[in-house]
Structures are given as C-alpha cells and as structure tokens.
Amino acid sequence: MSFDIDVTLQRGERVIACRFTAPAGITALVGPSGAGKSSVLEAIAGLLRPGAGRIVVGGTVLFDSAAGVNLPPERRMCGMVFQDLRLFPHRRVRDNLLYGHTLAPPERRFMSLEEAAAFLDIAPLLDRRPRTLSGGEAQRVAIGRALLSGPRFLLMDEPLTALDDTRREAIIAVIERIRAELALPILLVSHDRADVARLADQVVELGL
C-alpha cells in the first residue's frame, strides 16, 4: 500500500505542483500555509480535479489525466478527516458514524460501531447532537466516521490543531493506534514540526 502522487493543481492564480511517492505508514505533508497542502488532499479524495497528473494509491489508479481516469469521490474508498470536521448537524453522533458504514460493502468494513466507539472512547456520545460536542470529542467522532466507512487509506487535514494539550495527546495516541492496529496508510497535513517529528514515518515538503 503506497501513495504515488504526481499532480499539478490550478488554484486561482497559483499553480501547485506536487510529486511524491510514499510507502505505507504515516506520511506527513508539510509546508508553509498557502502551499496547497489541503488542496492536494482534496485532489486525492476526488473533491478537486487536478489540471494534469496521476494519483495512484495502493496500485489503484484514482486519477490519470493521460488515460482519462477520474474516479468519483464515492468510489475512491478514502477516509477523509477534514480540518473543519464536517459532521452532519441533522444526525446524531451514532448516525454520523454509521453514514459511511452502511454504504460500504460488508467485506470492506473492518470494525463495528461498538468497536469504533470503544477504540475512540466515544461510546457515551452516541446519542448526542454534533453541535453539543467539544472540539476533541468532535474530532474523534470525525475520525470514527472515516474509519467505519471501510477506507483503504486515511487522509487527515490538520487533525491536531484547535485542541488543547490533553486532547492532542489523545488524538496522537489514536493515530498511532490506527497505524499499529489497523495498518491503514495515513497521509496527514500538518504545520507543526514537533507533531510531524513524533508521528510521521516519512515527510513530504511542499514549497511555495
């Protein structure tokens, strides 16, 4: 399982060129703000169409401008944890968690709702509305929602910002357990060098 990315993205006036390969494990995408780190994640998730290039994850071609391949987001099997979380406000935590789970074919699911709730310590939150959650709780629910959709890899956009130190430690522990116990490749965007040094197996620099 590896990432093999080579894309150019047009964002307004700016052209973002990004090219890297990364083996399994945790890969950190770092760079100054405005470098287009989030845009690269969105392109891999299929939410942003690159001008040209190729996106291959674990041998599956998700996008290839030369071959005319462009899988829609729902067929890319990626677990995206957005920086702004994007929990569905009209659904309880339980139904947020189950949203992708019920859509995934059974053979792709690798954990149940109960397992995910225990893994992330969110069992007491299941009947709550997203707007009543604290930042750390909402972050764990967003990670759980992505894991339950049976993804082949995870994309995490700044999963550690806007959290106090205790919450941070809890999320870092979760990410390390995802690597150790679930063996899911993770591509995460971060601007914090200390976090990157601690978590990442390899680092990709995106310049301005």
Partner 1 sequence: MGMTAEEWGIVMLSLQVSLAAIAGALPVAFGLAWILARLRFPGKILLDGLVHLPLVLPPVVIGWLLLIAFAPEGPGGRLLAVFGVDVLFRWTGAAIAAAVMALPLMVRAIRLSLEAVDPRLEQAARTLGAGRWRTFTTITLPLAAPGVLAGAVLGFARSLGEFGATITFVSNIPEETRTLPLAIYAALQLPEGDSAVWRLALMAVALSLAALVASEALSRASGSGRGGHVL
Q: How far is the CB of 207 from partner 1 (least distance, A)?
A: 27
> Is 55 an interacting residue with respect to partner 1 (CB under 8 A)?
no
Piece of 21-29, 142-150, 165-173, 181-189 that binds partner 1 (CB under 8 A): 142-150
**In terms of Cα–Cα distance, which of 69, 55, 83, 100 is closest to 155?**
83
- The CB-of-157 to partner 1 minimum distance in angstroms stands at 11
Nearer to partner 1, 77 or 175 (CB): 77
Q: Residue from 67, 89, 107, 166 that binds partner 1 (CB under 8 A)?
A: 89
Helix (H, G, I), strand (E, B) or coil at 41: helix
* Smallest distance from partner 1 to CB 77, Å: 8
- CB nearer to partner 1: give 63 or 82: 82
Q: Round to the nearest angstrom and report the end-to-end CA distance of the chain.
A: 28
Under the binding rule (CB under 8 A), the answer on residue 88 touching partner 1 is yes
Residue 32: CB atoms within 10 A of its CB come to 11
**CA nearest 172: which of 134, 136, 132, 148?**
136
**Pairing relationship of beta strands 60-64 and 69-70 according to DSSP bridges:** antiparallel
Task: For residue 63, count CB atoms less than 10 angstroms from its CB and return exposed for 0-12, middle for 13-18, buried for 19 or more.
Answer: buried
Does residue 100 interact with partner 1 by CB under 8 A? yes
State the minimum distance, in angstroms, from the CB of residue 80 to partner 1. 4
CA-to-CA distance for 116 and 12, rounded, in angstroms? 39
Residue 76 lies near partner 1 (rule: CB under 8 A): yes
Q: Provide the binding-site residues for partner 1, judged by CB under 8 A.
A: 45-47, 72-74, 76-80, 82, 84, 86, 88-90, 99-100, 103-104, 145-146, 149
